[in-house]
Structure 1
Amino acid sequence: MKKIQLLQQIRDAGVVAVLRGSSAEQVALMAEKAIEGGIRIIEITMTVPQACEAITELTKTYQSEDPSGEKYAVIGSGTVLDAETARATLLAGAEFVVSPSLDEATVRLCNRYGVPVLPGAMTVKEITSAMELGVDVVKLFPGNLYSPSIIPTLRGPLPQANLMPTGGVNLENLQDWVAAGAFAVGIGSDLTKEALASGDFSLITQKAEAYMAAFRKAAAGRY
């Protein structure tokens, strides 16, 4: 039941912040600023040094059980390449796992523990293979290789596929991705690059607010 609830929370929230940084402390600060701006689904990538420490710190502060609460957020792990890393992130507190590609052992481990897993895929064959392993949502990656029309194109043969484009999604095209049928969207460097360049992390909060406003406008009436 928790897995179903988490998947619904990701869909309802609509925007996943994909966070990379130079340290656990930096990426935890990024997450805090994104949450302040209204993005409540946070993916901490395993390219961050001591990334699991950031996940543990954030899950001590933010809880997924009460979507109406002030400290509500769902913290997950990203750029997970293998089952060993996936298990480490779950022990650190991650509530969902995202991979750039489809690794069967990672999917099986997450299914074993009832955790949402969102592997990356690019082709009909990869998406089909993921669904055959029990994947509920496939990360369409890298999204910048496609236009939003790829979603209805893929749903021609695979109408049951839930797809989350990540990479290349921005404020200008978010509405098009949502209108095309995206389950949710992943936002990476566009959310944080200005803050990293200037050292002003309040810019992440401002950008997060803009993304959530754009998502709410795009998603109006989709239910």
Structure 2
Amino acid sequence: MSGYLLDKLVSSGVVAVIRRVDPGKVNYLANSLVKGGVSGLEITLDSKESIRKISELKDLYGERVIIGAGTVLNKHQAKESINAGADFIFAPTLDRSTIEYTKEKGKIMIPGVFTPTEMYEGYIWGADIVKVFPASVLGPQFIKDVKGPLNDIPVMPTGGINLDNIKDFLKAGAIAAGVGGSLVKNSLIERNEWVELEELAKSFVTKANKERWL
């Protein structure tokens, strides 16, 4: 099952990072992102009512969209998130016990890495994809260079991804990109501009897939 979910997660090329959004607006936001073609939604655990929203979105979308937890720092948080229905665990750091627990539960694990050594360790410990974070510091050239010797390890850059640079990261060899503030725009959310958010999501998905399938 996790293979199907993994393929679905990266199918749009974009995983939306939903961080500290008003819980009353999360469902509207999710609807806009999904209608825009985004295939993966991450609710960060430093958001209000994050566990409840993960459960709610999972019940709402089932397997039509892959729902996960982000900013997961340890095994306890992974357990809480998975019990709520999370399909994947997104972490900013590399923790072996979190990786192994998540894989024992048959869920997708994406730990945060910053060096080739961390990429390799995370992958041999069981990670499905490694999250290069913060991608804005390392840049697309890092991914291109490291994919030479570590080509079998799927990479998802996150942090500082926008419409102007997403194509560069995907061209460098990333399997998809985690996108936060440039997609999940606070200004649009505050004004309840859901159609505009849907159009923005479409722009990201279109650009991501245009690059990936050239």
> TM-score normalized by structure 1?
0.90
Q: Who is 1:138 aligned against?
A: 130
Q: In structure 2, how many angstroms separate the alpha carbons of the residues matched to 1:10 and 1:60?
A: 17
Worse overlay, 27-36 or 77-86: 27-36
Structure 1 residues 210 and 53: CA distance shift in structure 2, 3 A: same
Q: Who is 1:63 aligned against?
A: 62
Report the aligned-residue RMSD: 1.5
Kept in 2: contact 1:15–1:212 (CA 8 A): yes
Q: Who is 2:113 aligned against?
A: 121
Gaps of 5+ in 2: none
Q: Who is 2:22 aligned against?
A: 23
Gaps of 5+ in 1: 65-71
Q: Who is 2:37 aligned against?
A: 38
Q: Who is 1:184 aligned against?
A: 176
Write the mapping of 1:1-223 to structure 2, written as runs, cut at 5 A. Answer: 2-64=1-63, 72-193=64-185, 194-221=187-214
Identity over aligned pairs, percent: 32
Worse overlay, 112-121 or 20-29: 20-29
SS state of the match for residue 10, structure 1? Answer: helix
Deviation at residue 197 of structure 1 after TM alignment: 5.0
> TM-score normalized by structure 2?
0.94
SS state of the match for residue 178, structure 2? Answer: strand
Q: In structure 1, how many angstroms separate the alpha carbons of the residues matched to 2:71 and 2:157?
A: 15
Residue-by-residue CA offset, 1:163-199 (whole Å, 9 max, x unaligned): 1000111111111111111011011011122313544
Kept in 2: contact 1:167–1:186 (CA 8 A): yes
Q: Letter of the aligned partner of 2:176 in structure 1?
A: A
Q: In structure 1, how many angstroms separate the alpha carbons of the residues matched to 2:94 and 2:119?
A: 9
List structure 1 segments (4+ residues) > 6 angstroms apart after TM superposition. none
